[in-house]
Amino acid sequence: MYEQEINRFLKEIINTMNDAITIISPDGAILMVNRAMEEITGYSRDELIGSPCSIFHCDACEKARADAGGRWCQLFNLGHAHKKPCSILRKSGFYAPVLKNASLLKDMDGNVVAAVETFTDITGIRERDEKIWQLSRLLDGRSTFHGLIGQSAGMQRVFEIIAKAAQSEAPVIIFGETGTGKELVARAIHDLGSRRNGPYIQLNCAALNESLLESELFGHVKGAFTGAHTHRKGRFEAAHGGDIFLDEIGDIPLSMQVKLLRVLETKQFERVGDLRPINTDVRIITATNRDLDRLAAEGKFRQDLFFRINIIPIHLPPLRERLEDIPLLVEHFIRLLREGGGRQVSGPDARTMDLFMNYHWPGNVRELRGALEYAFVLAEKGAISPEHLPVRIKNSIRSRESAFQDTTAPLSNEKAALIDALVKCGGNQTRAARILGVNRVTVWHRMKKHGIDARDLPALRDQGIGPGRVG
């Protein structure tokens, strides 16, 4: 009795399955398909029933038929197939990658009455693997990555993390000084991720006061406050199904941090002036140029929120720590300026490029671009020279040169020891760092601090400047 009931509902049971199923007669005719088979192939049930199974042009089946010997298909010789990768042709003419399982159905006497085949669509897995492969090729010897430029080890590492973070749904936080390219990183994560076809919404949290920030994030209903004449959709609602990028997350007030944490934990929020919860499906990307660890320790940023958004951290190095990328950036920006402005400026001359390599760049890549835009206007044509640069950068030349104009002035212990170590090592900063017992970055920073240029070391050596001249 139970067996009869099950057989009566077998068709509905099969139609609820996610995997595509087809039953094939020993002569290759399709006897039955489920709804998933219609969806994966694009054919209707009526088009498939009675048709030969070769309608799918499965590459594995075509080989199996060729190797079948006297049987219609090798499946009837082997009796089964397990997780066999193959491609089937959709009605649209496109191929779908699938994993196939197959088995023979036999009667009580052991005679084959049919074969059952199941297909698991792995299109998403193939697309993911293809994307990762493409990203690997982009990262192999390339200096540009979705608007970000750099061949330095630090930037190549950033590119790798972006590629992996894009394949995740976990929150991402981008740390970096002003002008390092945090917005470009956030956009790259969206463009490479599974939500790339959904909305990408961004908001600078430092640009608004508390009340405006809450309205921008969650929206408000008519009459919620003075001036709220209409209902307004918030950024979280607009980002549904996509990504939301909250820049300067370290600047939001503590009261808003509580509400943001609730959204992350419950995936719900309320508009200002409304108590009805709204479900939201967004991936959150945040960025800051502040030390959130320190702010959390000082009670200025909630630790629980920090732990919630700090799942995949990406640290962008400042420009002064990737000086080898400056020529690439200069070339890139000059090319963009020539394309947009029509001026025949050839780029920086040797003195200017040397200045770029020795400048501290507190504004990072944004400051470099701004300096080139300024110089592009003044130069009009030919090479960019130091006199075409903004005053703050030109002054850095004078401050560096003035450090060596008065060689009779007493030297500080730190500066004298640094010069002595550099002179002994012929300007090699790594060896000088070993002598001083510090790392190479510290030597580099001290050179900047005291205005020491490696090109001036031979003259200093000839003048006998060293620890003996400490005042």
- Spell out the per-residue pLDDT of the chain, length 471, in tens: 444 555 566 777 788 888 899 988 888 889 989 999 999 899 999 999 999 888 888 866 766 666 555 455 666 666 677 778 888 888 887 778 888 888 888 888 888 888 888 888 887 776 665 555 455 544 444 567 888 999 888 999 999 999 999 999 999 999 999 999 999 999 999 999 999 999 999 999 988 888 789 888 988 777 666 666 577 788 999 999 999 999 999 999 999 999 999 999 999 988 887 778 888 999 999 999 999 999 999 999 999 999 999 999 999 999 999 988 999 899 889 988 888 766 778 888 888 888 898 888 999 999 999 999 999 888 878 889 999 999 988 877 655 544 444 444 455 677 888 888 888 887 888 788 878 877 676 777 678 777 787 767 766 665 555 544 433
Among 163, 164, 161, 193, CA closest to 175 = 161
243-247 vs 344-348, strand pairing mode: unpaired
* CA geometry: angle 237, 239, 240, nearest 5 deg: 70
Token pair of 20 as six digits:
């595509």
Tokens 């130091």 belong to which residue?
386
Residue 12: CA count within 13 A, CB half-sphere = 5
pLDDT of the residue at 138: 47
- Which amino acid is residue 465, in one-letter code? I
359 CA to centre of own chain: 29
Helices 429-436 and 440-450, axial angle in degrees (round to 10): 100
Nearest-angstrom CA–CA distance, 345 and 375: 9
Topology, domain 128-315: Rossmann fold (3.40.50)
Token pair of 404 as six digits:
């060596």
**How would you label 147-177 residue by residue, b for 16+ Cβ within 10 Å and e otherwise?**
ebbbebeebbebbebbbebbeeeebbbbbbb
Burial of 286 by CB count in 10 Å (0-12 exposed, 13-18 middle, 19+ buried)?
A: buried
CB 314 within 8 A of CB 172: yes
pLDDT of the residue at 196: 92
pLDDT of the residue at 468: 42
SS3 19: coil
The yes-or-no answer to whether 2-121 and 322-402 have a common fold is no
Nearest-angstrom CA–CA distance, 283 and 245: 9
pTM of the predicted model as reported, rounded to 2 decimal places: 0.58
Nearest-angstrom CA–CA distance, 233 and 278: 11
Q: Return the domain boundaries, the chain.
A: 2-121, 128-315, 322-402, 413-469
Q: What architecture is domain 2-121?
A: 2-Layer Sandwich (3.30)
pLDDT of the residue at 294: 93
pLDDT of the residue at 16: 83
Rounded alpha-carbon distances, angstroms, from residue 127 to 107, 121, 131, 193, 325: 41, 12, 6, 11, 32
pLDDT of the residue at 15: 83
Beta bridge partners of 202: 245
CATH class of 322-402: mainly alpha
Among 47, 361, 53, 51, CA closest to 372 = 361
Residue 52 CB neighbour total at 10 angstroms? 13
Task: Say which residues have a Cβ less than 8 Å from residue 325's Cβ, sequence separation at least 6.
Answer: 143, 149, 150, 151, 152, 155, 319
Helices 350-358 and 326-341, axial angle in degrees (round to 10): 130
- Which amino acid is residue 121, in one-letter code? D
Beta bridge partners of 112: 106
Nearest-angstrom CA–CA distance, 217 and 400: 47
Token pair of 179 as six digits:
């002008």
pLDDT of the residue at 407: 43
pLDDT of the residue at 69: 54
- Which amino acid is residue 202, in one-letter code? Q
Token pair of 43 as six digits:
């054919």
